[in-house]
Amino acid sequence: MTPPTGPSAAAPPTRVRYAILGLLCLLAMITYLDRAMYGSAKADLMAAVGRPVADFFWVLVAFQLAYALFEIPTGWLGDRFGPRSTLLRIVVWWSLFVALTGFAGMTFPGTEVVVIGFGVLIGMQFLFGMGEAGAFPNISKAAYNWFPAGERGFAKGAVWMSARFMGGLTPVVWVLLTGYAGLTWYQTLWVFAGVAAGWCVLYAAWFTNLPSEHPSTNEAERVLISAGKAEGVRQPIPWKRLFTSPNLWAVCLMYTVTNFNWYFLMYYLPGALKGQYQSVAGPADPAHPALVPALLGGAPLLVGMFGCYLGGVMSDRYVRTTGDRKWGRRVYGMLGYGLAGVAYAAASLFTGEGQFWYFAGCLILVGFFNDLIMGPAWATTQDIGRHCSAIVGGAMNMIGNLGATLGNLISGLILQAYTVDKDVEPQGYVVLFALYAVVYGLGAVSWLFIDPTKPVVPDNYEAAGAST
């Protein structure tokens, strides 16, 4: 008997969305690879431009400021033209500037004229941040387009889990490439830029903006994904409604807490732990640098990836089990912020000699607890953003990264004030961690003002004939 060849009404949904998620997770990994590398490269980079490492925070401020300012415009591009073309533009742009950064301190052939000095480096980092802006809002938009409501927390948790994994592994990758494979710091940057370019090829070949545009999805998967959404209907962007929404501003201010406190772990901690470890273990072999401080420097992000996953999965489970989306998102946000503050406060008690492992352990816990909020936070942007989810995610990330800009500036100035003979005095960490603990406490309270059940723009907005 010949089996039927036509489509079956009982055919289970295809699982193309998970392949799409794999592409998005890979992009998140590359994004953090190209960002976290600065925690390891800063000494070489600043030496190349003839400035002390303490001045590196100006590089961070330039990047974060541009990254913040261009989040909403790039989020709008994703909502207007779709995440496919927008993400390709983003990755090509940032790959170019990662590669160009590798020329810092070099001179034009036959001259002593420096190609990229400190001032040009600052400007390039601003352009780098401008180009990378919008990556995660557009990833969020893609996840909204490709996942049903009950899987969005999982999808965003997986994305952030992947990002943290690569961010945590980057210090180790850096040591392996520069300390063991024999690459220079600038050659390593060019390798990272090449990896991003390779992703563009895969993405262009496989990704579509909507499930209905993908040849490998079946009707069952399209119906599953589109439930509760008006797929393919282009709606106007109600800017006034968006930016007068208390719910949107509550989300933005909440996310400021994460970015204000967290970047210490990526940019400053690897150097701090390397210095402390060398005081315990003795001088390092320049030809074969120790992997222990690199592993520990990346450990908050590596452990944080489990926080990203658990926060997203547990939030979705709470929503599915109780039907209460409001507290399904709030509970894990408040829990994560509260415990991260406690861990920072505990770390301030272990800044002296002989307390290296306690110090490192507390900061690793900060990474885990902070990242419990990532899945719920980005799922909330989809919950309240709907067809404007990339703009809402962009607004949250914009305000959050303005907080990161302020956090990097304040953190850099505090650590600089307590730096003696290139080493940060313990009291500098005590002051900094006390500040972070207070900010996390405020963040836990801020979740009470967020309601994921209230879209910033109702689904019937266009039908109601509202003005844009």
Report the CATH number at residue 136: 1.20.1250.20
What pLDDT does residue 289 have?
A: 61
Q: What percent of the chain has pLDDT over 70?
A: 90
Average pLDDT of the residues in 244-256: 93
Evaluate whether 276 touches 350 at the Cβ level (below 8 Å).
no
Q: What is the pLDDT of residues 279-301, one digit of tens each?
A: 555 555 555 566 777 788 888 88
Angle (CA) 14-16-20 rounded to 5° is 160
Does residue 307 carry a pLDDT above 80? yes
Provide the 3-class DSSP secondary structure of residue 285: strand
Supply the Cα-derived Rg of the chain in whole angstroms. 23
**Mean pLDDT of all residues in 79-101:** 91
- Asked whether residue 23 is domain-assigned, the answer is yes
Contacts (Cβ under 8 Å, ≥6 apart) of 182: none
Residue 396 CA to residue 376 CA, distance in Å, equals 13
What is the average pLDDT across 26-37?
90
Per-residue pLDDT band for 242 (boundaries 50, 70, 90) equals confident
Q: What pLDDT sits at residue 463? A: 42
Confirm if 290 and 277 have CB atoms less than 8 A apart: yes
Cβ 289 vs Cβ 176: under 8 Å: no
- 89 falls within a domain: yes
Q: Mind listing the pLDDT tens digit for each residue in 153-184?
A: 788 778 888 888 898 899 889 989 998 898 99
Query: Which neighbouring-strand residues pair with 107?
Result: 114
Q: Is 188 left (phi over 0), alpha (psi -120 to 50) or beta?
A: alpha
What H or E segment, with its residue span, contains residue 85?
A: helix 83-101
- Looking at residue 228, its pLDDT comes to 63
- Smallest Cα–Cα separation from 142: which of 212, 206, 87? 87
Q: Which strand (E) or helix (H) includes residue 423?
A: strand 423-424
Nearest-angstrom CA–CA distance, 240 and 243 = 5
Residue among 384, 456, 394, 322 at smallest CA distance from 140: 394
What's the structural domain count of the chain? 1
Has residue 6 been placed in a domain?
A: no
Predicted TM-score (pTM) of the model is 0.76
The answer to whether residue 457 sits within a structural domain is no
Which two structure tokens, joined as six digits, stand for 173? Answer: 């990758």
Domain enclosing residue 347, as ranges: 16-226+236-449
- Provide the percentage of residues in the chain whose pLDDT is more than 90: 38
Q: How confident is the model at residue 418 (pLDDT cuts 50, 70, 90)?
A: confident
pLDDT at 48: 92
* Residue at 220 is within a domain: yes
- pLDDT score for 468: 38
Residue 160: what pLDDT?
80
DSSP state of 13: P
Q: Is residue 465 part of a domain?
A: no
Can you tell me the mean pLDDT for 451-467? 65
Q: How far is CA 74 from CA 24, 68, 86, 206, 466, in A?
A: 17, 11, 8, 22, 24
What per-residue confidence (pLDDT) applies to 466? 42
Domain membership of residue 112 (yes or no) is: yes
- Residue 466, in any domain of the structure: no
pLDDT digits (tens, 9 = 90+) for 263-279: 888 877 877 776 666 55
pLDDT at 467 over 50: no
Return the structure tokens found at 145. Answer: 């387009």
